[in-house]
Structure 1
């Protein structure tokens, strides 16, 4: 299942998340810092939604109260919940 998440408060504008059940299969960021946003998907693909949330929720970027990683955790949760409907 592929899901598009519109980010809030980050340089990236959206995140495409593909799940297989509760396992992250593919992540693609639009916008943001290229190096980080190529690295993050490689680190989380194969993890469960819960593992992504545990690792990334609450990470801030500078003075912002969120980050691309934090937004990815939200995106994964939203994608998973949407797949359960």
Structure 2
């Protein structure tokens, strides 16, 4: 019975040692792949944000210009209307 427990403990130690070896050697390969994918996703997101910023900026600039022209046009229209009434 005592020998059975010693064998089980030795098997447990062997499994732990194999697990540590797998973590040390094989996890580095996996981490390298994950880091590369993460960097690629990060670069893709930066490009997406630039496109979003440029298009949003152009829309805001266009709306500002159109509003300003409308304001100037209404002001001019009001001036000409006031002159014709007098």
Larger strand share, 1 or 2: 1
Larger helix share, 1 or 2: 2
Regarding TM over 0.5, the answer is: no
Range of TM-score over shorter length = under 0.3
User: What TM-score comes out, normalization by structure 2 length?
Assistant: 0.22
Q: Which has the larger radius of gyration?
A: 2
Query: Structure with the greater relative contact order (CA < 8 A, sep ≥ 6): 1 or 2?
Result: 1
